[in-house]
Structures are given as C-alpha cells and as structure tokens.
Amino acid sequence: MKLSATIRRSVPLVITFIAGLLVIGDYYFKVKAFNDFITQWMKFVNVAGSFAVIIGYVTLTRIHARRLNQRREGWYNSLALLVGMYAFFLLGVVFSEGKFTAHPTYTYWFNNLYVPLDATIFSMLAFYIVSAAYRAFRVRTAEATVLLISAVIVMLGRAPIGPAVWPTFGPITSWIMAVPNNAGMRGITIGIALGVMSMGLRVLLGRERGYLGPGA
Amino acid sequence: MMEENEMSFFDKLEKVDPRLIYILVFLIVSLPLMRPLGLPISMSPMTVAFYDAVEKVNPGDVVVVSIDYSAASSPEQYPQTKAVIHHLATKGAKIIGLGFWADGTPFIDSALKDVFGKSKDHPKYGTDFVNLGWIPSQEVGMKALGGDVQGTCPKDYYGTSTATIPMMKDVKTGKDFKMVITLSSGTPGVPEWIRQIQAQYGVTFLYGVTAVGAPGMRVYFPAQAAGGLEGLAGAAEYEVLLIKYGYKGTLAPPMDSQSLSHLLVIAFIVLGNVGYVLRKHGKAK
Amino acid sequence: MLATLYMSMKGISRPTIRKIAGLDAIGEAVGRATEMGRPIHFSPGIGGLGTDVTPQTLAGLSVLAHVAELAARYKATLWTTINRAEVQPLAAEIVRQSYLKAGAPEAYDEDKVIFLSTAQFAYALGVVGLMHREKVAANIMIGGFWAESLLFAEGGYLAGAIQVAGTANTHQIPFFVAACDYCLIGEEILAAGAYISRDPVQLGAIWGQDYAKFVAIALIAVGIILSLAGSDYLWKLLRGPLW
C-alpha cells in the first residue's frame, strides 16, 4: 500500500514531537509509572541502536564489493578492507566458542593488529601539531602575541621540564587553565548549548526536517 | 646583493621543510624512550583533586569505571585506566567496568587482568569487580543505564546473567552508584555522563581525558566533576601519588619525551617568529 | 525562542546576521578551485545523525547544499566524503538537488559522494589520500570533528588547498584556527544554514539564541553578585529539582 506524501511526511514529525515531549517530561515529572515506561522505552531504543552496526557492515560490503567487482582504481584496498572486516567478524562471532570478543584469539589480533594501527594514525598528529604550530603562531597582532606567550607557558607548565627549570611555571599554568581558559570555554560551551537547544526546538516543532532524509 | 641574501635567509627561517620537522620530532620523541632523562614529575591540582576524591571511597562503595576511548588514544588513556582500577582496588571499592565505545571494551578486560592477574576466572570476579562490556546507543544507553542497570546490561561481557552476579544484587539504578569515573577521548564522554547520570542522580563524578580535551573539560570542575586526569601527564602524576600503594609506574620516560617535544615546538615557533619579525623589519626599511 | 521563531516566520520582524568571514570565503574557495581546474573536497564531519552532535552534521549538510550549487554553477568537481552510512544517501540527494537547482543535473556524479568508513582514522586516511591524489584546491569541512581534524587540515595544506573549516567541538577549534585559512567557531556553524539560506525559520532561531544568551549573561551577573554577597540561592535553584 503506497502512503500519500502527506502521511509520509507528517507521521514521522508527529512521532518526533510526541517522543521528544515524553523524554523531556521524564526529566521534569517524577511519576513512577511514567518514569518506568520511559526507562523501558530507552532500553528498546538501546537495542534498536545496536542494529546500526549491521547497517555499517552491509553498506561497506555493498560499496567495496562493487568496487572489487568492477576492478576500479584501488580495488585491492577494497579487498583488504573486506578481508579484514570479515576476518574479525569470524574471529569474534563464528569461531569464538561463545566468548565473542573475550576469546583469546580475538583479543590477540585486536591487541597486536588493530590497536597498533589505530594508535599509529593518531600518533601522526604529533608531527602535524608541530608543523601547524610552527606555521600558524605568528606575532601578527597583540592578541596573537598574548596567545603565543600563554601557549608557550602552558606547554612548559604541563611537561616536567617547565617546573624543573622554574617551579612557578606550574602555578601560572594552573591559573591560565583555571581562569582565562575556563572563561572562554564556558562562553563557547553556553553558546553551543543554546544553539543545540534551538535546533532541538526546531526538530520538535517539525521546522527542521533534514534528519528525515531526502525529499522531506 | 647582501640584502637579497639576508631576505631569503629570513624566508627560509619561516618556511622550513616539513620533512625536516617530522624527522626532528621522531628523534626527539624516541631518544628519551631509550635513554630516559629522569626529569621530576610535578603535580597538577586537577590530578590531586582526582586522587583526593578516590581516597574518600569506602570499602564496598560501588564505582563505575567507563572506558570511553578507542584504540587510537589507548597509549594515552590505558595507563590512566590501570592506575584508576588499581587505586579503587586498594580502597576496596566494588568496580563495575563498562563502556560506550565498542572498540574500547576489550581494554576493560585487559585492565582487569593487568591489575588483578585474571578477569573472569579470578575468584573475586562477581564480588569485587565485574565487566559489563559495551552498551550501545551512546547517550540513550547512558539514560537507560541510569534508569535500570540490570535491564540495560542483562549479561556481563562474558555472557553471565547480571542477575546472578553477587555484587550487582543491590545495583538497580544510577542512585546506587557511589562514584562514576569516565576515561574518555571524545563523544560519548564527559558531557554525556554529566547530563544523564551526574546531574540526574547527584553521583560523585571524575574523568580522565586526553590532553587535547582537557581545557574543554575544566569547565565542569568543581561543580559537576570533582577532579580530572589530563592526558599522559595526568596519568604520570597519578602514578606518582600511587607509589605509596606499591604501584609501579612506567610513564617517566614518555614524560621526558613530552618535555623535549614541547621544547621542540617552542623552538620552531620562535624560529618562525624570528624570521617573520626580521622579514617585516627588512621590508619596513 | 518560540516567540522569535513565530515573529520571523510570520514576517513581523526579521533579524540580520553579522558577516561571517568563513562562510563568505566559501565562494572564494570554489572560485579558486575553478580557476585552477582542480577539485573541491567537502566533509560534513563524523558526527552522524541520531546523537547530540546531529545539529553540527545538519549544519554541515546545509553548507554542502550551498557548496554543491556553487560547484555546479562554476563547473568545478566536488568530492564529498562521508563517515556515516546513514548520512550518505542524505548527502547524495542534497548534492543532486543542488546540481538540479543550478541547472546542471547531468554534471552530478553519485560516485563523488563517497561513504569511506565509519572508523574514525580509516576515514581520515581516506580523506587525506583523496586530497593528495586529486590535488584538491579547496577543502571545506563543516560539522562535528574530533582527533582527525588536524589530519585533514594538514593534509589539505600539504595538498595546496585553501581551507574553510568549522566545528562546535571546542577541543578541535584550536587546530582548525591554526591550520586553516578560515575558521568558523562554535555556534557560527549552527548559524551557517540561516546565513546562507536566509530562511525565516532559521533566522528566527538564531535571533532567539541571542536573546537566550542575554538571559544567560544576566543570570551569570546576578549569580556573581549573590556569590560575592555570600548567597548560594541561585546556584541551588538552578542545580536542584524545580519542585
């Protein structure tokens, strides 16, 4: 049965509105039966959310199997991805004797293959931070100079070398983090929270429909 | 002719080849790991506050340790994890290990093995510590956990029903947590825990984050968070404080690397600015 | 916020938004890519949909619509990389509609809206590799970014691209500020949709946020005065249950 466009657009908006009100109400109203219902509902959403893993698997398989099939440029990378993805799946589900990711073989490959690979890419940031800081930190304006000086003080204060050379680096660093840094961060955090609240309000009222997908 | 050479020299100061920078970073970071300098580790007030908060834990208090980081930040945060679990174990806390990051969950099992020697097979598993594994759906999962712990985690990481685990008998909702410690490198992490558990149930809350996230998390101290470990430096400082409990720290050499790499960054910044100022001065003339 | 939304929607009053240099620079970036005959790269971040970072992803997608329309109009190649499976069809449709709106539907290539990986650093490497292979001339990143932000920014710099970036994740803003040519800080990305489209609903929402900020500032000022006077009444009121 094909639903009309109006129903296809309106029903999700109504569900969103009611669901949002109920979850907000759970925070403000302490009525046991209502709160228990919301708790059960959250558990249901929790279970439903874990199916997102399957969506990721299916989508990646579809995309990379097609690349492999069509022998597109870099198809061997797609092969490596599919082999790795399904090898870990088999180790963690099929051949894990019911222990899943607690199985020693899975843990071995996780600790000795996945962890070093992931940590290596993250460690590239160390190199990039130095080159970015070298390029970006110029005393072009008074504000940039203040930023530069405080960055140098905090870098020295947060590593052992700073307090070893001059013990006062520690307290100065703590003051910079506790006062100017906190002031700026709190301002930005409040602004972002208000922006998110505004977006949430628009979603509840059906004025923001991007999450519904194309054509909404 | 002389002026042109000086100008190009200043340009060179401002435009050092990135490959040279990367080689120097590699050498500066790796050499102290082989030959440590032995620089003393100073204390941050955030680490001291974290330590003091855990010191107030009484035997039998239920403490949740949430591993909310991925393999990428494990070199920075796994040392925090081990130190925290060790400290809680010495205080006699009942430790609930769980996580909201799928690829961080294996670290709970590893940390329990590193601290207690065994995890599931340990005689005190289920009475002194338990591993509830991964909870999906991020912040929604946290809300569900706060409302009904056993309903959200019907089985532990090893497949045992949580209803049969002795220490979970009296842990029903977020109200039954004495303390929550999240070790987090992103989202879901500190703000989500504060919104869903700390603010709702008034639980004592502590965090451990990567150094990058530290400035942003300070905003929650001291009203929502009682203390925090900030990056590898925070873990190293915490290890020093745990020496009295017989904890053997391993972070002195990496902290030496951190010291030298910070000096390298400062040196390059100064170099770039010297070139910039002298070039501008040359143009002004 | 409700009041300002209503007033803006009904045309009773409509605010103007101050200039946001980063958003104005997007046109410049697309133009530069067209002149150089090199492609543009766009990323809406790794926040996905269905989390508290969804607003950032939606903000990124609204900027994507604008970038795609400009790219279609100037006949520049646009690569869009996606980290979340659920965002990919949304982004593909947004780009397709934008090309249609610009009068160049035949130029739309669905293979250039790529879902790379849900793994953070696998996605990061995929993006950096693409930027180097394709030698992108403009790199635009608006959305939720985490540790991979500096990898993108440095990768784009080494590829020789002009970079416009924005995120509301406070811990990554410094990296974008340091490494990119233009940076949108915090809620500027949430205002991006309103700035570009001039949609009354979005403008009204931004207006309401500004009033909410006045309220927050007033509460902070009152709180400081009460704290100095030794009273924690306001603190307890805001912290505790309402009843």
How confident is the model over C145-171, as a mean pLDDT? 92
Which residue did the predictor score with more confidence, B8 or A191?
Answer: A191
This prediction has a pTM of 0.88
User: In terms of C-beta density within 10 A (0-12 exposed, 13-18 middle, 19 or more buried), how is residue B163 classed?
Assistant: exposed
Mutation target vs A (from B17, B110, B137; most A CBs, 10 A cutoff): B137
| Per-residue model confidence (pLDDT) at position B96 | 98
| Per-residue model confidence (pLDDT) at position C10 | 76
Tokens representing B26 are: 């590699």
Tokens representing C15 are: 């605010």
Distance CA C14, CA C196 (A): 15
Is A23 in the C-facing interface, judged by CB distances under 8 Å? Answer: no
Work out the pLDDT band at B254, boundaries 50, 70, 90. Answer: very high
Sign of CA pseudo-dihedral B125, B100, B75, A166: negative
How confident is the model over C116-138, as a mean pLDDT? 92
Q: Hey, is B184 helix, strand or coil?
A: strand
The tens digit of pLDDT for each residue in A157-182 reads 999 999 999 999 999 999 999 999 99
- Contact yes or no for C84/C49 (Cβ under 8 A): yes
Is C134 in the A-facing interface, judged by CB distances under 8 Å? Answer: no
The tens digit of pLDDT for each residue in B165-197 reads 999 999 999 999 999 999 999 989 999 999 999
pLDDT, mean over chain B = 92
- Please name the member of B29, B39, B211 whose beta carbon is closest to the beta carbon of A161: B39
Q: Where exactly are the structural domains of chain C?
A: 1-14+200-243, 18-190
C146 to B186: CB separation less than 8 angstroms, yes or no: yes
Measured CA to CA in angstroms, residue B74 lies from A150, B97, B134, B261 at distances of 29, 16, 16, 20
Is A99 in the B-facing interface, judged by CB distances under 8 Å? Answer: yes
For residue C25, the number of C-alpha atoms closer than 13 Å in the C-beta half-sphere is 17
Q: Which residues of A touch C191 (CB under 8 A)?
A: 195
3-state secondary structure B118-180: CCCCCCCECCCEEEEEECCCHHHHHHHHHHCHHHHCCECCCCCEHHHCHHHCCCCCHHHCCEE
B106 to A133: CB separation less than 8 angstroms, yes or no: no
Q: Which of A193-197, B80-84, C40-44 has the lowest mean pLDDT?
A: A193-197
| Angle, alpha carbons B91-B121-B177 (nearest 5°) | 40
CB atoms < 10 A from the CB of B113, how many? Answer: 15
Distance CA C40, CA C135 (A): 9
- Tokens 């712990």 identify what position? B149
C158 to B18: CB separation less than 8 angstroms, yes or no: yes
Mutation target vs B (from A46, A85, A146; most B CBs, 10 A cutoff): A46
CB atoms < 10 A from the CB of A3, how many? Answer: 9
- Contact yes or no for B143/B17 (Cβ under 8 A): no
For B104, the closest chain A residue by CA position comes to A115
Residue A134 has pLDDT above 70, yes or no: yes
| Per-residue model confidence (pLDDT) at position B91 | 97
Distance CA C112, CA A7 (A): 33
- Contact yes or no for A191/C186 (Cβ under 8 A): yes
Task: Say if residue A214 is preceded by a cis peptide, omega within 30 of 0.
Answer: no
Is A211 in the C-facing interface, judged by CB distances under 8 Å? Answer: yes
For A148, the closest chain B residue by CA position comes to B269
Distance CA B77, CA B68 (A): 10
CB atoms < 10 A from the CB of B122, how many? Answer: 16
| Per-residue model confidence (pLDDT) at position B172 | 95
| Per-residue model confidence (pLDDT) at position A182 | 92
Looking at the DSSP bridge assignments, the partners of residue C141 are C43, C165
Distance from CA of B89 to the nearest CA of C (A): 32
The tens digit of pLDDT for each residue in A41-84 reads 888 887 887 777 787 788 889 888 988 999 887 889 889 999 99
Is A193 in the C-facing interface, judged by CB distances under 8 Å? Answer: no
Is A22 in the C-facing interface, judged by CB distances under 8 Å? Answer: no
Is C199 in the A-facing interface, judged by CB distances under 8 Å? Answer: no
The tens digit of pLDDT for each residue in C165-197 reads 999 888 898 889 888 999 998 888 888 878 887
Is A77 in the C-facing interface, judged by CB distances under 8 Å? Answer: no
CB atoms < 10 A from the CB of C10, how many? Answer: 11
| Per-residue model confidence (pLDDT) at position B1 | 42
- Tokens 């190293």 identify what position? B236
| Per-residue model confidence (pLDDT) at position A210 | 66
Residue type, B28: I
For B234, the closest chain A residue by CA position comes to A158
Q: Which residues of A touch C168 (CB under 8 A)?
A: 192, 195-196
Query: How many residues would you count in chain B?
Result: 285
Give the CATH architecture of domain C18-190: 3-Layer(aba) Sandwich (3.40)
CB atoms < 10 A from the CB of A28, how many? Answer: 9
Q: Hey, is C81 helix, strand or coil?
A: strand
The pair phi, psi for residue A50, each rounded to 5°, is -70, -15
Residue A191 has pLDDT above 90, yes or no: no
Work out the pLDDT band at B2, boundaries 50, 70, 90. Answer: very low
Which residue did the predictor score with more confidence, A29 or B57?
Answer: B57
For C171, the closest chain B residue by CA position comes to B213
Distance from CA of C142 to the nearest CA of B (A): 17
H helices of chain A, in order, are 5-28, 32-50, 52-69, 75-89, 104-109, 115-136, 142-157, 161-165, 169-176, 182-204
- Please name the member of A132, A201, A210 whose beta carbon is closest to the beta carbon of C153: A132
Residue C227 has pLDDT above 70, yes or no: yes
Mutation target vs B (from C121, C171, C234, C236; most B CBs, 10 A cutoff): C171
Measured CA to CA in angstroms, residue C115 lies from A6, A118, C132, C146 at distances of 31, 19, 18, 18
Q: If you average pLDDT over each of A34-38, B65-69, C61-65, which comes out highest?
A: B65-69
CB atoms < 10 A from the CB of B106, how many? Answer: 25
Distance CA A69, CA A76 (A): 11
Distance CA C63, CA C61 (A): 5
Work out the pLDDT band at A1, boundaries 50, 70, 90. Answer: low
User: In terms of C-beta density within 10 A (0-12 exposed, 13-18 middle, 19 or more buried), how is residue B192 classed?
Assistant: buried
The tens digit of pLDDT for each residue in B31-90 reads 999 999 989 999 999 999 999 999 999 999 999 999 999 999 999 999 999 999 999 999
Which residue did the predictor score with more confidence, C39 or A32?
Answer: C39
Looking at the DSSP bridge assignments, the partners of residue C139 are C41, C163
| Angle, alpha carbons B258-B259-B263 (nearest 5°) | 115
Distance from CA of B5 to the nearest CA of A (A): 22
Surface of B (76-115) touching C: CB under 8 A = none
| Per-residue model confidence (pLDDT) at position C95 | 95
For C85, the closest chain A residue by CA position comes to A56
| Per-residue model confidence (pLDDT) at position B4 | 47
| Per-residue model confidence (pLDDT) at position B285 | 56
Q: Where exactly are the structural domains of chain B?
A: 2-35+255-284, 45-250
Distance from CA of A79 to the nearest CA of B (A): 22
Q: List the subunits that have 3+ CB pairs under 8 angstroms with A.
A: B, C
The tens digit of pLDDT for each residue in A8-28 reads 778 888 888 898 899 889 888
Which residue did the predictor score with more confidence, B220 or B9?
Answer: B220
Is B192 in the C-facing interface, judged by CB distances under 8 Å? Answer: yes
Q: What is the CATH number of domain B45-250?
A: 3.40.50
Is C178 in the A-facing interface, judged by CB distances under 8 Å? Answer: yes
B216 to C120: CB separation less than 8 angstroms, yes or no: no
| Per-residue model confidence (pLDDT) at position B182 | 98
For B278, the closest chain A residue by CA position comes to A139
A28 to C242: CB separation less than 8 angstroms, yes or no: yes
Which residue did the predictor score with more confidence, A77 or B282?
Answer: A77
Is C178 in the B-facing interface, judged by CB distances under 8 Å? Answer: no
For C53, the closest chain B residue by CA position comes to B187
Surface of A (52-71) touching C: CB under 8 A = 52, 55-56, 59-60, 63
